[in-house]
Amino acid sequence: MFRCVLIVCLILGSGAHADPNNKIPTHRSVEVKLGQSVVVNGFRGECGKRPTNVDPDRTRGTTLGVLSNGKWGVTKSRTCGGWTPAVEAIFTATKMGRETIEVAGTKIAISVR
């Protein structure tokens, strides 16, 4: 019994602050309105561990908008064989048009109307 409790504590502790109820989606394409924000993917670290060096204030510009980091959660990873801690990648549309961006190794087609 003690071993089971210890194992559960170690597993839960390894994803420190990753909210298992916040399931971060992985989109291949999104359609948004000008000014709208949407979670497009998640940045993950090593399997079962939070990504390191995540700056919550970091933003990255794209042709049609801005990518920023969001809340902690979990994302489903084929490489990891299931759910693993991650932080949301949020796209905010600032210009109309179409573009393809890459987030965490996934290409995402974005259409802003």
Beta-carbon-side half-sphere exposure of residue 30 (alpha carbons within 13 Å): 25
Q: What does the pLDDT look like over 18-30, one tens digit per residue?
A: 899 999 999 999 9
Q: How much is the pTM?
A: 0.81
Segments making up each domain of the chain, as ranges: 2-112
Task: Provide the total of helices (H) and of strands (E) in the chain, helices listed first.
Answer: 1, 8
Q: Residue holding tokens 């079962």?
A: 48
CB distance 32 to 109 below 8 Å: no
Q: Residue holding tokens 């087609």?
A: 109
Q: φ and ψ at 40, to 5 degrees?
A: -105, -20
Tell me which amino acid residue 93 is.
A
Q: What does the pLDDT look like over 6-63, one tens digit per residue?
A: 334 444 444 447 899 999 999 999 999 999 999 999 999 899 999 887 887 889 999 9
Q: Would the pLDDT of 3 be above 50? A: no
Residues 10-19 as b or e (16 or more Cβ within 10 Å = b) = eeeeebeebe
